[in-house]
Amino acid sequence: MKKNTVLGLEVPCGPNGVSVITVLQAIQGYYGYLPEEALEKAARELKVPLIDFYSVATFYKNFRLAPQGRREVVTCTGTACHVRGSEKITEEISRTLGVDIGSTTEDGEYSLKCVNCVGACALAPLVIVDGRYYGQMTSLKVRRLFSDNPTKTEQTVSSGLSE
Ligand code: FES
């Protein structure tokens, strides 16, 4: 596949040139998110309105406009998780960590996002932390999981968060 260079990054190039989405993928692949400055420079370099970059970046959930936290927290809001209280679980996580959905804590430790079904409905409601699945979550389990005391958190996690 033919490639072009944008901001010094290699970007796959179709018959009509590079697309906004491939440029965004390249930028996020390099920085881990989409820095405002990089989007502005790319828009100038390609002579594309900046709004085009933001339209695509905000449409697709895979794009991040802010740096990702060191730890990723994902709550499933698919049907099975929803009927078993995922909304309440997500609110508890948000309150406990002090972070909104789609955002990162001020200290850069946690990012919180929601996804649809991940195919583990028997574990509903499900929370995934750094790729590790925590099923049948409750508000109490959330508070234990994200306790300020890391030692206690590790012990609680390894013991299955039993209540
Ligand atoms: S709905 Fe949550 S894992 Fe399927």
Residue 64 within any structural domain of the chain: no
What is the number of the ligand 1 atom nearest to the C-alpha of 79? 1
38-51 average pLDDT score? 95
Residue 153's domain is classified under what CATH number? 3.40.30.10
Does ligand 1 lie within 6 Å of residue 74's CB atom?
A: no
Q: What are phi and psi of 68, to 5 degrees?
A: -75, 145
Distance in angstroms (rounded) separating the CA atoms of residues 74 and 120 = 13
Domain co-membership, 55 together with 77: no
Does ligand 1 lie within 6 Å of residue 137's CB atom?
A: no
- From 81, 89, 90, 137, the mutation candidate for ligand 1 (largest count of ligand atoms within 8 A of CB) is 81
For the cut 80, the answer to whether the pLDDT of residue 19 exceeds it is: yes
80-105 average pLDDT score? 95
Domain co-membership, 152 together with 86: yes
Domain co-membership, 39 together with 80: no
91-114 average pLDDT score? 93
C-alpha torsion angle, residues 139, 120, 61, 93 (rounded to 10): 10
Domain co-membership, 55 together with 123: no
Domain co-membership, 53 together with 76: no
Domain co-membership, 131 together with 79: yes
Residue 96 within any structural domain of the chain: yes
Domain co-membership, 98 together with 140: yes
Cis peptide upstream of residue 49 (ω within 30 degrees of 0): no
Closest CA to 118 of 86, 91, 158: 86
Closest CA to 17 of 48, 39, 59, 60: 48
In this prediction, residue 21 carries a pLDDT of 93
- From 90, 113, 126, 133, the mutation candidate for ligand 1 (largest count of ligand atoms within 8 A of CB) is 126
Domain co-membership, 122 together with 82: yes
Domain co-membership, 147 together with 89: yes
Does ligand 1 lie within 6 Å of residue 115's CB atom?
A: no
Q: Is 53:41 a contact under the CB 8 Å cutoff?
A: no
Domain co-membership, 98 together with 148: yes
Average pLDDT, the chain: 88
pTM for the predicted model, two decimal places = 0.68
Q: How sure is the predictor about 159, in pLDDT bands with cuts at 50, 70 and 90?
A: very low
- From 83, 115, 117, 134, the mutation candidate for ligand 1 (largest count of ligand atoms within 8 A of CB) is 117
CB neighbours of 61 closer than 8 A, spacing ≥ 6?
113, 115
What range does the domain containing 16 cover?
Answer: 3-59
For the cut 80, the answer to whether the pLDDT of residue 41 exceeds it is: yes
Does ligand 1 lie within 6 Å of residue 80's CB atom?
A: yes
Q: To 10 degrees, what angle do helices 36-46 and 50-59 make?
A: 130
